[in-house]
Amino acid sequence: MSVSAVRKSSRPVWEEKPTLLGQFGKGTILTVVVAAVLVPLWVVVVTSLSSEKTINEAGGYVFLPREFNPSAYVVIFSGGQVTDAVLVSTLVTAVGTALSLIVTVLAAYGLSRPGTLGHRPILFYFLLTFLIYPGMIPSYLVVTGLGLKDNLLSLILPTAISAFNLVVLRAFFMSIPGELLDSARIDGAGEFRILTRIVLPLSKAVTAVVGLFYAVGYWNAFFNAILYIDRNDLQPVQRVLQQFILAGQSPLTSGAAVYIPGLGASMPPSLAIKMAVVVVTIVPALIIYPFVQRHFTKGVIIGAVKG
Amino acid sequence: MSAPPIVAESAPDTKRKKAKVSPQRQQLSFGARLRRDWPLLLMCFPAMALLAVFHYLPALGNVIAFQDYNPFAGDNPLEAFLYSEWIGFGNFEYLFKNPSFWDAVVNTLSITAFQLVFYFPIPIILAILLNSIMSPRLRSLVQSVVYLPHFFSWVLVVSLFQMMLGGAGLIAQTLRQSGMAVPDIMTNPDTFVFLITSQAVWKDAGWGMIVFLAALAAIDPSLYEASAADGAGRWRRLWHITLPGLRPVIVLLLILRLGDALNVGFEQFVLQREAVGRDAAEVLDTYVYYQGIAVQQWGVGAAAGLLKAVVGLLLIIGANKIAHRFGEQGIYSKS
């Protein structure tokens, strides 16, 4: 990582040789920490790819992979609630992230030059959202009052703008040398063209991180779905995950029963199917994560310093 | 947007540069500034409109805390507040007399206190530990792994805990196979605060390291070298250089956490409230939800939410004052 790499990998001459006990202790702690994250994920993936027979022999969760049996995935993707939910969440995430990014980038650029007309009051308008929360009940009444109940826009519009992301982007835009923009302006470029041709290409990394933050938020949307979505076929993946794994734990489950063709609504889904649903909710994050991960430190620190 | 911005901008362009050193730009008339800056204003507009409808309009909607609000009084819930009866502080009086509201307050504050002791130091310790690892490859591998759960939803985190620690989970399964008794951690109200704290640690402690790692990287290595030359061992260097180097960040985050004392999270509690019971898992946010939306006492729920927001605002402002007194920047600066 760029930030922590300031201290070089080689041990400085003045530093003591590490003690055996110290090395062992550090190694143990780090192994435990990494295992605490990875072991549950590993067990979930292996169990989701196991047959009913393997699961019964293991007495439940499977630790050592013995086969590659994708039948659970075939079942959940052959129509029914999980298939619907994946489509819904993909749609919400794609449309929501695009909308959020466009609107946030525009506003961040619009605010990136102190001294322009209305700059201070508009900035204050955005920053005030850090201090004043709308509150759950009035938000619920506004969204339902606008007729967005059972409408996927209710999962997008209320969370479309994060002032934090706006501040991160704005701080980055402000760090771009003004001479660069001035020269484009002298060549006759308008603001919009400067934004798309000069500012954005220079800000790919930070825009990608902000996009990831938005996308994760939309993919993880859960409680807004409880408030605003009643229809079974419009539930996002997190709701379905909750119904599969935590069902019976919460009254929030009532109203929407798990349905998968060929399983029957009343039959509890097999462990492999449950685990496959868990994997489906994790995979998108796992795919995007490596591409964006190396930019985290930068984006977060800009936010932390200027926020 | 073709002609006007170009024409308007070519002239004030030189002025813009001067403006950095002198307030000369203020002399431009409002009309001239509007002509120059309208594309920027236009760009801010969509975001402002979204916030107006979905942030500030509901914030104003908190007035129903002073009403006996009935959503069916008008044609739709937005209009209904015009027709609902104003009852002054009635909802607040109800709250103050309601023991389950005070239970929620006590739960929220005790969870905050518990997490200050058992959650807050963990990212700091992890960051110091990780910073002492020499191999950059090992370090970035560990970072990649421990940042990951930050991007998981609470549903997923609670599900994973259920699958590992629950009555039918992996650990129970292993214990049962070796003939041991199986405690069900997931439904025990007495240990609930440990459970939610360990979930929070699992999800966010790794991510919380980032800011401390950055602070550690900013410590001048020559300080370590000088103190080593003076004979300070590794523990003395940790005490006299590393920790003082982290102090500003620690103080800042501590104060911010105190300002955020009433926010302990919401989804995590809603998801587990039934499993462990209301007595242990009711916090202010879940109280607002169940009073307001589930039981449909809209005014009471809104009053609880408003009370929490106002106290939260005062706490943040107070915390920020303390931050300034410590010479830290805080979340907003004075200017």
Q: Where are the domains of chain B?
A: 3-86, 100-325
d(CA B187, CA B335): 50
The first and second tokens of residue A172, run together, are: 């980055």
A-chain residues near B228 (CB < 8 A): 14-15
- Whether the per-residue pLDDT at B292 is higher than 90: the answer is no
**DSSP label at B292?**
I
For residues B163 and A241, the answer to whether their CB atoms sit within 8 Å is no
Q: Which residue of B has its CA nearest to A60?
A: B173
Amino acid residing at B178: S
d(CA A19, CA A167): 45
A60: nearest CB among B39, B142, B168: B168
d(CA B297, CA B67): 11
d(CA B319, CA B255): 6
d(CA A175, CA A15): 38
- Whether the per-residue pLDDT at B11 is higher than 70: the answer is no
Mean pLDDT (whole number) for A168-185: 89
For residues A246 and A236, the answer to whether their CB atoms sit within 8 Å is no
Q: Nearest CA to A107 among B58, B335, B39, B52?
A: B39
Q: CB distance from A40 to chain B under 8 Å?
A: yes
Partnered with residue B86 across adjacent β-strands are B67
**DSSP label at A18?**
P
Q: Nearest CA to A276 among A32, A102, A52?
A: A52
Amino acid residing at B241: I
B-chain residues near A33 (CB < 8 A): 126, 142, 145-146, 206
d(CA B212, CA B121): 11
| CA Rg value for chain B | 27
CB atoms within 10 A of CB A149: 15
- Whether the per-residue pLDDT at B14 is higher than 80: the answer is no
Token pair 């549950």 in the structure block, residue:
A40
Mean pLDDT (whole number) for B136-147: 88
> What's the gap in Å between the CA of A189 and the closest CA on chain B?
7
Q: CB distance from A120 to chain B under 8 Å?
A: no
For residues B15 and B25, the answer to whether their CB atoms sit within 8 Å is yes
Distance, CA of B44 to chain centre: 25
**Bigger pLDDT: B36 vs B152:** B152
Q: CB distance from A30 to chain B under 8 Å?
A: yes
> What integer pLDDT is reported at residue A299 of this predicted model?
52
Q: CB distance from A251 to chain B under 8 Å?
A: yes
A-chain residues near B62 (CB < 8 A): 134-135, 138
> What's the gap in Å between the CA of A79 and the closest CA on chain B?
22
**Bigger pLDDT: B77 vs B103:** B103
Q: Which residue of A has its CA nearest to B187?
A: A249
- Within 146-205 of A, beta carbons closer than 8 Å to B belong to 146-147, 157-158, 160-161, 166, 178, 182, 185-186, 188-192, 195
Token pair 């002054």 in the structure block, residue:
B88
CB B55 to CB A160 under 8 A? no
A-chain residues near B170 (CB < 8 A): 40, 43, 60-61
Interface size, chain A vs chain B, as Cβ–Cβ contacts under 8 Å:
336
Q: Which CATH architecture has domain B100-325?
A: Orthogonal Bundle (1.10)
CB A191 to CB B145 under 8 A? no
* Average pLDDT taken over every residue of chain A: 84
- Whether the per-residue pLDDT at B21 is higher than 60: the answer is no
- Whether the per-residue pLDDT at A303 is higher than 50: the answer is no
For residues B15 and A182, the answer to whether their CB atoms sit within 8 Å is no
When mean pLDDT is compared over A49-58, A257-266, B41-50, the highest value belongs to: B41-50
Convert the pLDDT of each residue in B192-223 to its tens digit. 999 999 999 999 999 899 889 988 988 998 99
- Whether the per-residue pLDDT at B5 is higher than 80: the answer is no
B-chain residues near A133 (CB < 8 A): 59, 309, 312
d(CA A96, CA A93): 5
Helices (H), chain B: 3-10, 12-19, 30-51, 57-61, 77-83, 90-97, 99-118, 121-131, 136-147, 154-165, 170-177, 192-200, 206-217, 221-229, 234-237, 243-259, 267-276, 278-281, 284-289, 298-325
List chain A domain ranges. Answer: 20-68, 75-306
Token pair 């990582």 in the structure block, residue:
A1
B41: nearest CB among A110, A190, A281: A110
CB B313 to CB A131 under 8 A? yes
- Whether the per-residue pLDDT at B178 is higher than 90: the answer is no
B43: nearest CB among A110, A223, A297: A110
CB A282 to CB B37 under 8 A? no
Q: Which residue of A has its CA nearest to B135?
A: A9
Rounded percentage of chain B residues whose pLDDT exceeds 70: 90
Mutate to test the interface with B, among A3, A4, A26 (most CBs of B within 10 A): A4
A250: nearest CB among B71, B271, B332: B271
B77: nearest CB among A41, A145, A290: A145
A92, A197, A258, A284 from B154: Cα distances, Å = 18, 39, 20, 16
The first and second tokens of residue A78, run together, are: 């052959």
CB B163 to CB A290 under 8 A? no
For residues A239 and A225, the answer to whether their CB atoms sit within 8 Å is yes
d(CA A302, CA B5): 31
**Bigger pLDDT: B107 vs B179:** B107
> What integer pLDDT is reported at residue A64 of this predicted model?
86
> What's the gap in Å between the CA of B308 and the closest CA on chain A?
9
Q: Which residue of B has its CA nearest to A112?
A: B40
**DSSP label at B68?**
E
- Let me know the angle formed at the C-alpha of B123 by B121 and B125, rounded to the nearest 5 degrees: 65
CATH number of A75-306: 1.10.3720.10
| CA dihedral sign of residues B295, B296, B297, B299 | positive
Q: Is B88 left (phi over 0), alpha (psi -120 to 50) or beta?
A: left
> What integer pLDDT is reported at residue B109 of this predicted model?
94
B-chain residues near A31 (CB < 8 A): none
Q: CB distance from A26 to chain B under 8 Å?
A: yes
> What's the gap in Å between the CA of B220 and the closest CA on chain A?
10
Helix (H) or strand (E) holding B86: strand B85-86
> What integer pLDDT is reported at residue A264 of this predicted model?
44
A136: nearest CB among B2, B16, B288: B288
CB A142 to CB B61 under 8 A? yes
